[in-house]
Structure 1
């Protein structure tokens, strides 16, 4: 099979598309012929080995995972002898962060892992981006206890996480304000934002107050957003912040819950999360935002270069013919 491999850490140039042996599914694994995958910020971080201390987990001095790729959608072409839920021919989508391997023509996925049937009426590309960003977004909403009628600010509303935050928060009945580039205002409004503010105007253009501020790109800070929060309001970021400050502030969050505080969105891949997101996808309450720039597997280095520019819209889909 063809797969995008890397032998070390670095820029997009460390990735090569080569022939590698086909994976053989274990007794409880499902073999999927990948039809679509994505390149996201997580893939780019693993590829680069950043932050550097994380290489203790990623692998040192060389990465453990040669084939990256967290998100996949495709067709079941083989099953282990103990598999009972899926059958050859099923259309599926899933998430394999930690195991990786989705940047290839074939990938073996545990039957009890994150693997779901593609809802009727959706293509592989429609479903492939329904895991990485949305499960972070759901963690934001659950951890900050977003409720109907609350005011929520989403910073970075056009990314994979931010666009899912807008949709899921609006579906919960929250009043959503989104911060994004002016050229994408109409897109974000269609996702469910009641107010869209041009990112070029900066946080100073906002007055709030908000019950929750969700920083989906990690480029703001609690210090810069504190004045925008109501007393008891929560700030949550997708990034740890300089020196891991958001971890530290989140640790004391339970002690100052009645004051403005920080919550860190530790995402979950448990069955409840998977059911919630799958139901939202099937009902049309979650429509993953897909960047108009599409790439083929043989062009995945260019996909990485594009993601590294920081200008992507939603998720960058890589088609695997």
Structure 2
């Protein structure tokens, strides 16, 4: 079972972003945030190269696995694999509007099939002892959000779902791209709050449009947790506030510079295994957002980390862009 405290703060599953390098970096910044994998389909889990696709470092825990699929028996089989790998939770994707997902008749398409979603949840619950959770939208296309959301939530709860993560926007399967679906449909936080009041015993977190610690803290007056995506990725430094602000625990590192120092051993280990520097450091580009030299840091890291043989010296030089810019600003202010 999941406790409400377990979902107090989560970093959302994001395709092409929340890979194992990203999660390791985010864990360096917060020990308590719940981290999620990129979505993987049942077919990839059952038939793919599991170690390459699903492997993770124990340091990432607590980490949850997001599955995409719509066949209960296949989801049950995949959930068993997820459990065997040691993940803390298996999450069913009922919110992604990408063409790939639509072609596979899962993701946000499942908002139109609440009975099937319930069957999927029950099949996974019967197959594993892991918590089984659902991430959904408030509706799709021409659905009326309130009845659509309340029906799918009620069926999931009845089927035994251990928690719900609600992206507080509709998804338009026709007419909007996945990127547009993250911004254009209006947010409806009050509807999600109403859902939580209707299911007070079910752990429930809200997702969508939350960019600051203050906004996230305000949501906790209504919800058990918040789940953030792009804000954590584009400005990972905000994760340094998560443990103190949401869990009353000290941050694991003092600041962004200390985070880089703490991340060096992991980078060197991965480089030693043949990984490219850019595959690891691409998740760090927003680390110094708002500080002098941040743009130079991003540019230098983006341009030089992709070069053959690039090593940790590239990252050190990029960080120097920030420390030098701060020193120049300090000197100018003192003059």
Q: One fold, TM greater than 0.5?
A: no
The structure having more radius of gyration, on CA atoms, is 2
Structure (1 or 2) with the greater helix fraction? 2
Which TM-score applies when normalising by structure 2?
A: 0.29
Which TM-score applies when normalising by structure 1?
A: 0.30
Structure (1 or 2) with the greater strand fraction? 1
Report which structure shows greater RCO (CA 8 Å, sep ≥6).
1
